[in-house]
Amino acid sequence: MGVKVGVLALQGDVSEHIAAFRQALADRPGSMVIPVRHTEDLAGLDALAIPGGESTTISRLIEKNGLYEPLAEFEGGVFATCAGMVLAADRVDDPRVRTLNLISMHVTRNAFGRQVDSREVLLAVKGLSEPFRAVFIRAPVATEAGPGTEVLARIPEGIVAVRNGRHMAFAFHPELGGDLRLHRMFLEGLGV
Amino acid sequence: MKLEELRFGTELIKRGFASMQKGGVIMDVINAEQAELAEEAGAVAVMALERVPADIRAVGGVARMADPQKVVEIIDAVSIPVMGKARIGHFVEAQILEALGVDMVDESEVLTPADEQFHIDKTRFGVPFVCGARNLGEALRRVNEGAAMIRTKGEAGTGNVVEAVRHMRAIMGGIRALKGLDGQELVDRARDIEAPAELVIECANLGRLPVVNFSAGGIATPADAALMMQLGADGVFVGSGIFKSANPEMTARAIVEAVNHYDEPKVIAEVSKGLGEAMKGLDIHMLREDEVLQTRGR
């Protein structure tokens, strides 16, 4: 059976997420990946990706577009990266971002400093046999994982990959760089 | 963690930074107060400047990098990325901006060029660069020098969108015109537009530039911003258009929403209501040759 994935398309690296999920689902006939801009786009989705971008901007556009409640109540699996991880959390160090409370964790924005401190790290991720080349771009970290949130990867700065039920969140960008193992892990966890 | 497992300033990191800006509005600001207003309005980044392009035009003389004190003041004021402008070819201004912690350097024709032959070798920097371009050849020459992001030059500080439109059409049309060409013809085209053949071939395969492509130079209203998005821009820079308008706060918010809803005229109509007067603007044809900024650096 095909999988229907939406990508929240308000701001950020939306097309990279769409391309990565299309590639990861190439062997699942009947699958589709669509951009989500309005509440009605969420209907019938098995999963939703919340992309990287600026979390303050995306948060503001979620409110403006009346998407806060529908997203917070989304029942499929959520695949959140970077700014998406900030939005998916239930606690953040910045009052300018209203979190969607999908994954119990405390996140800190821009935990690495300025853009020149952005980095690629060879990362051990729980559930992957080989390390993952993770690209962090002005990335957040989780400083604490709450009840039900499993830590999948950690670096000295903090927690950078988590799973909570069908939801997964990453401080880095699995949608960049062409390695789709984390997408496959997420899709398997959906149970569709 | 082993040292070889860590990498900084790679192409992926630089171009990835630009990708995170897509669908966003980057606003010119000259102080902390304006930067905070921009962030509050939903800007994805701010450009820290001594003065906006319209005032650079008015003041005349040599336009240089902003005072580092001003750049730091703006960096400290906001959580979104801060960009800074260096003169074309002035790699030391770029080094200073990188040392101050700006997140992206704009090698900009808005400032007085420091080198009339060479642009900055951007591959030598850890910080990513954005550069202006008027057509496909110019865009790919900048990418070849290491630019992680391209923007149309337009004609900055005029509040007149006509040149941004011309440049966006030239870039997008230049890419569309590659369709259907065979290998030899692409190499021939590369020679014509004075761009590296491998980048022309990459564009032909991708059907777009290999980096994010924003629009800049004359965007003054929500409608202008949406126009550039419909023409294929990944996002917009708004310079003088916000803080030279009658109501900067409303204009900033409206442009952010117009970019988000660029293909929904009803929303653009709604956010455009009651903004008051946009910046006055200049007729491009009234500019003297030495007042035209877009011809700086080719």
Taking only the tens place, the pLDDT of each residue in B117-155 is 999 999 999 999 999 999 999 999 999 999 999 999 999
Q: Which of B2-11, B107-116, B190-199 shows the lowest mean pLDDT across its residues?
A: B2-11
Query: What confidence category does residue A192 fall into, taking pLDDT thresholds of 50, 70 and 90?
Result: confident
Give mean pLDDT, residues A36-57: 97
Task: List Cα–Cα distances, B295 to A127, A156, B112, B160, B285, in angstroms.
Answer: 54, 48, 11, 16, 14
The pLDDT, as a whole number, for residue B4 is: 54
pTM: 0.96
Q: In this predicted complex, what is the ipTM?
A: 0.97
Query: What confidence category does residue A29 fall into, taking pLDDT thresholds of 50, 70 and 90?
Result: very high
Give mean pLDDT, residues A155-171: 97
* Boundaries of domain holding A49: 4-189
Residue B1 has pLDDT above 80, yes or no: no
Give mean pLDDT, residues B204-220: 97
Give percent of chain B above pLDDT 70.
99
CA distance B111 to B63: 5
Residue B277 has pLDDT above 90, yes or no: no
- Taking the alpha carbons at both ends of chain A, their separation in whole angstroms is 7
Q: Which of B5, B7, B16 has its CB closest to that of A137? A: B16
pLDDT in tens, A48-58: 999 999 999 99
Give percent of chain A above pLDDT 90.
98
Average pLDDT in chain B: 96
Report yes or no: A64 at the B interface, CB cutoff 8 Å. Answer: yes
* Residue B278 per-residue DSSP state: P
Tokens matching residue A168: 């997964």
**DSSP E strands: which ranges in chain A?**
4-8, 32-36, 47-50, 77-81, 89-92, 103-108, 119-123, 132-136, 141-145, 150-155, 158-164, 167-170
A11/B22 CB distance under 8 A: yes
Q: How many domains does chain A have?
A: 1
Write the DSSP string, B19-38. Answer: HHTTT-EEEEESSHHHHHHH
* Residue B277 per-residue DSSP state: P
CA B135 remoteness from chain centre: 14
Tokens matching residue B183: 């290998």
CA distance B178 to B200: 8
Q: Which CATH number is A101's domain given?
A: 3.40.50.880
Residue B2 has pLDDT above 70, yes or no: no
Name A129's Cβ contacts closer than 8 Å, sequence gap at least 6: none
- For tokens 């960096």, name the residue: B75
B273 is catalytic: no
Give mean pLDDT, residues B194-219: 97
Query: What confidence category does residue A105 fall into, taking pLDDT thresholds of 50, 70 and 90?
Result: very high
Q: Which of A57, A96, A176 has its CB closest to that of B24? A: A57
Selection from A88, A81, A92 nearest residue A102 by Cα: A88
CA distance B175 to B211: 13
The pLDDT, as a whole number, for residue B278 is: 85
- For tokens 């948060």, name the residue: A59
Contact residues on chain A for B45, CB-CB shorter than 8 A? 54
Average pLDDT in chain A: 97
B118 residue type, one letter = F
H or E segment to which residue A103 belongs: strand A103-108
Q: Do B45 and B86 contact (CB within 8 A), yes or no?
A: no
CA distance B61 to A120: 43
CA distance B244 to B30: 12
Give mean pLDDT, residues A61-68: 97
In sequence order, what are the beta bridge partners of B105?
B84, B129
Residue A25 has a CB neighbour count (10 Å cut-off) of 21
B104/A177 CB distance under 8 A: no
Residue B220 has pLDDT above 90, yes or no: yes
A11/B6 CB distance under 8 A: no
Give mean pLDDT, residues A109-135: 96
CA distance B129 to B126: 9
Report yes or no: A174 at the B interface, CB cutoff 8 Å. Answer: no
Report yes or no: A61 at the B interface, CB cutoff 8 Å. Answer: yes
The strand pair at A141-145 and A103-108 is best described as antiparallel
Q: Which of B14, B70, B85, B153 is catalytic?
A: B85
